[in-house]
Amino acid sequence: MTGAGGLDRALMRAGGWVLALVWMAPLIYALWSAFHPSAYEARFVLTAPLTLDNFATAWGKAPFARYFLNTILLVTMVLAVQLVLCTMAAFAFARLEFPGKGVLFALVLVQLLILPDILLVENYATMFRLGLVDTILAIGLPYFASGFAIFLLRQTFRTIPRELDEAARVEGCSLLGLMWRVYVPLGRPAMLAFGLVSVSHHWNNFLWPLVITNSVETRPLTVGLSVFATTDSGIEWAVINAATLMTSAPLLLGFLLFQRQFVQSFLRAGIK
């Protein structure tokens, strides 16, 4: 009985490793071709010489430094504004009583369903009227008030004991002081979780930035990469793969270093 169970388990595990290998295969393949001369991109011999030329070629053929800067500016700006706006709103929803609370909260939840990505035609028209087409600000604007962040932080703030409010009031804390000194520090794990999700989402976001940008000075990495990879100038696969790895590297490294936090954050952000 136990013998059969053990065999069962061993088979399952072997299947698991096959699945894991399939899951890693695209990345392994990309790593192989990016670090070897293009002659070896489809020939797998262990003696193939290693090279960084593909990265150098990719870096030289497109303004990746600028794309990196644009993406970093974008994700920093979006996250900073999101945290400020959504903390304020979440605090109001979690702790204050006021007329219209239910309706306003429902309006926030609408955004969980109708994501800004879907309204791209109309948002483009808005940016056009504001004269903001082809700016980094325009990429970020639709995401500044995140319904998801408001929802997540509200849930967290509601778990903070009310006695702390009373204590802070007795100490003479104002409402903003209460939010800043009590709620923000206690909500930090949730903010960190949201931060990781937000940064990876905006680092990876593509459709809206593609629509709203059309110059090197504003394009984020994802759009820059797609422009680079689809120009039919006969760029070698090895170079495209090098560029691909380059653009994903910061997130990938961050994930490998802080795996637990990443997984926890995605989990937290999803379940609430």
Partner 1 sequence: MPKREWIHAWLLLLPAFVFLIAFTHLPAVQTLIDSFWSTPKGRRPAVFVGGDNYARMLADPILAKALWNSAVYAALTIPASVVLALAMALLVQARFAGVALMRMAFFTPTVLPLIAVANIWLFFYAPGFGLIDQIRGLFGLPSVNLAGQPETALYAVAAVTVWKEAGFFMVFYLAALQAVPPALREAAAIEGCGRWTFFRRVTLPLIMPTTLFVTVNATINAFRLVDHVFVMTRGGPDNATMLLLYYVFENGFRYWDTAYAAALTILLVAILTVVGLGQFFAADRRVHYR
What is the CA angle 49-52-54, rounded to 5?
Answer: 105
Binding to partner 1, residues 169-208 (CB under 8 A): 175, 200, 203-204, 206-207
**Among 9-17, 50-58, 164-172, 184-192, the segment contacting partner 1 (CB under 8 A):** 9-17
Specify whether the CB–CB gap between 181 and 168 falls below 8 A.
Answer: yes
| Cβ-based nearer residue to partner 1, 152 or 221 | 221
DSSP 8-state symbol, 63: -
Q: Per residue in 204-226, is it b (16+ CB within 10 Å) or e — as a string?
A: ebeebbbbbbeeeebbbbbbbbe
**Among 54-62, 90-98, 160-168, 182-190, the segment contacting partner 1 (CB under 8 A):** 90-98
| Cβ-based nearer residue to partner 1, 73 or 251 | 251
Closest separation in Å from C-beta 138 to partner 1: 10
Binding to partner 1, residues 53-82 (CB under 8 A): none
3-state secondary structure of 217: coil
User: Angle of helix 237-257 relative to helix 259-271, nearest 10 degrees?
Assistant: 80
Q: Is 29 among the residues that bind partner 1 (CB under 8 A)? A: yes
Q: Is 102 among the residues that bind partner 1 (CB under 8 A)? A: no
Q: Is 213 among the residues that bind partner 1 (CB under 8 A)? A: no
Q: Is 107 among the residues that bind partner 1 (CB under 8 A)? A: yes
Binding to partner 1, residues 239-268 (CB under 8 A): 240-241, 244, 247-248, 251-252, 254-256, 259, 262-263, 266-267
CA distance 124 to 140: 12
Q: Is 164 among the residues that bind partner 1 (CB under 8 A)? A: no
Q: Is 131 among the residues that bind partner 1 (CB under 8 A)? A: no
Torsion of CA 31, 37, 43, 47, to 10 degrees: -90
Closest separation in Å from C-beta 246 to partner 1: 9
Q: How many helices (H) and strands (E) does the chain have?
A: 15, 0
